[in-house]
């Protein structure tokens, strides 16, 4: 399974079409998730659905959204998983409503009502699968003066120049959510100083890997990615939940409009929404489930959501402002 996923990654990076999947037993999944998580999900899904197979095309969520739009007249993918809801919401015409079908062999626990209404579109175009928190992943051996940052504004200091890494918001929906929130929280002046201090990378994985290796002192990244290193025993890594608040980045899934393998895609959608699958994904990759009937603090040492200061954001507003924000971002980066 891993070989097949990696092979399809090459097709994605080369800009080629995925192998033709004309059989109704094959589902084409477009995913921005890491190889390990995608491979695990696909393996478990295929075990429980022996008549179905999944072909995977991986890229950043922004790149996949543009690809889905470009393929609108002849969709090559069936289901997208996953990207920030604000990113998905910016492309409403590329998806079709999901109606929970009465599928033989469906999971009894896949009732999407356990996913709060704010994580589901009003017209049923997408549902959240996970809720990520933006954190500062810090390497205590590389932070300036041996001091971990405590607030977002700490990153604006001159001692942080070149030491903080941020994924490019054009390609990372979670980075877009974080940077959008930081600009609103801190104001343009402090936000601009952080941007001038930062090094930008093309993927979320490059950011947290850079901190883990000691190349950077801190990354603006997602909780699950940083916690994987802590759970894996890397002693020098710390998660900082800034005292001035942090941001949620709900990530979701949607059925691609005109999907050629709709029945199978709905089955995969249902699987990803189910309680057993979301628990299994958390145990494997530490992604906080969107379902309200799963308590991650009983499964890990991560704090409960109600113990963390979270600054509310409006996904619809972020979606409507995406083009304007990214234009401002490009201008700011060009002036560094």
According to DSSP, the β-strands at 218-222 and 164-167 are: parallel
pLDDT score, position 121: 87
Sign of CA dihedral 110, 37, 51, 54: positive
User: For 11-36, what is the mean pLDDT?
Assistant: 65
DSSP strand E in the chain: where? 26-31, 53-58, 79-84, 95-96, 127-139, 164-167, 199-201, 218-222, 237-240, 248-256
What percent of the chain is modeled with pLDDT above 90?
67
Superfamily of domain 2-130+250-298, CATH level 4: Periplasmic binding protein-like II (3.40.190.10)
pLDDT score, position 13: 37
In whole numbers, what is the pLDDT of the chain averaged over residues? 87
Residue 111's pLDDT band, with cuts at 50, 70 and 90, is low
Residue 164's pLDDT band, with cuts at 50, 70 and 90, is very high
Domain residue ranges of the chain, discontinuous segments joined by +: 2-130+250-298, 131-248+304-334
What is the tens place of the pLDDT at every residue in 242-261? Answer: 999 999 988 899 999 999 99
Of the candidates 47, 11, 57, the residue with the CA atom closest to the CA atom of residue 256 = 57
What is each CA distance from 50 to 42, 47, 150, 211, in whole angstroms? 11, 6, 49, 40
Residue 43's pLDDT band, with cuts at 50, 70 and 90, is very high
What is the tens place of the pLDDT at every residue in 266-305? Answer: 999 989 999 999 999 999 889 999 998 999 999 999 998 8
Asked whether the beta carbons of 91 and 65 are under 8 A apart, the reply is yes
For residues 105 and 336, which has the higher predicted lDDT (pLDDT)? 336
pLDDT score, position 10: 36
Please enumerate in sequence order all residues whose Cβ is within 8 A of that of 169, keeping only pairs 6 or more positions apart, or say none: 175, 176, 179, 180, 325, 326, 329
Of the candidates 311, 313, 322, the residue with the CA atom closest to the CA atom of residue 87 = 322
CA 74 to chain centre: 26
* Statement: residue 144 has pLDDT above 80: yes
Asked whether the beta carbons of 181 and 134 are under 8 A apart, the reply is yes
Two tokens, residue 50? 């022996």
Q: Is the peptide bond before 114 cis (omega within 30 degrees of 0)?
A: no
How would you label 152-167 residue by residue, b for 16+ Cβ within 10 Å and e otherwise? bbbbbeeebeebbbbb
Residue 24's pLDDT band, with cuts at 50, 70 and 90, is low
Of the candidates 295, 256, 255, the residue with the CA atom closest to the CA atom of residue 275 = 295
Phi, psi of 217, rounded to the nearest 5 degrees: -85, -30
Instruction: State the pTM of this model.
Output: 0.75
Angle 262-273/35-48 helices, nearest 10 degrees? 110
* Statement: residue 323 has pLDDT above 70: yes
Q: For the domain bounded by 131-248+304-334, which CATH number is listed?
A: 3.40.190.10
**Domain 2-130+250-298 and domain 131-248+304-334 have a common topology:** yes
């Amino acid at each position: 399974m891993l070989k097949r996923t990696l092979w399809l990654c090459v097709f994605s990076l080369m800009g080629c079409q995925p192998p033709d999947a004309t059989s109704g037993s094959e589902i084409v999944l477009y995913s921005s998730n890491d190889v390990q998580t995608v491979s695990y999900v696909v393996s478990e899904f295929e075990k429980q659905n022996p008549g179905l197979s999944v072909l995977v095309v991986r890229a950043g969520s922004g790149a996949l959204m543009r690809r889905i739009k470009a393929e609108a007249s002849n969709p090559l993918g069936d289901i997208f998983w996953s990207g920030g809801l604000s990113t998905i919401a910016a492309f409403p015409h590329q998806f079709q409503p999901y109606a929970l079908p009465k599928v033989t062999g469906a999971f009894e626990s896949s009732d999407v009502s356990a996913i709060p209404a704010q994580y589901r579109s009003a017209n049923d175009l997408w549902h959240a699968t996970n809720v990520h928190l933006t954190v500062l992943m810090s390497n205590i051996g590389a932070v300036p003066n041996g001091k971990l940052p405590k607030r977002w504004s700490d990153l604006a200091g001159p001692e942080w120049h070149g030491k903080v890494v941020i994924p490019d918001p054009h390609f990372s929906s979670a980075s877009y959510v974080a940077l959008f929130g930081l600009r609103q929280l801190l104001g343009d002046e402090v936000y601009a100083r952080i941007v001038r201090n930062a090094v930008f990378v093309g993927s979320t994985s490059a950011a947290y890997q850079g901190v883990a290796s000691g190349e950077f002192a801190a990354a603006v990244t997602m909780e699950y990615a940083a916690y994987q290193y802590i759970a894996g025993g890397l002693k020098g890594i710390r998660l900082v939940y800034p005292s001035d608040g942090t941001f949620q980045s709900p990530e979701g899934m949607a059925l691609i409009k005109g999907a050629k393998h709709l029945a199978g895609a709905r089955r995969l959608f249902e699987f990803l929404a189910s309680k057993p699958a979301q628990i299994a994904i958390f145990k494997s990759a530490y992604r906080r489930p969107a379902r309200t009937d799963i308590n991650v603090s009983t499964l890990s040492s991560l704090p409960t959501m109600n113990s963390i200061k979270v600054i509310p954001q409006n996904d619809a507003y972020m979606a409507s402002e995406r083009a304007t924000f990214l234009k401002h971002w490009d201008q700011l980066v060009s002036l560094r």
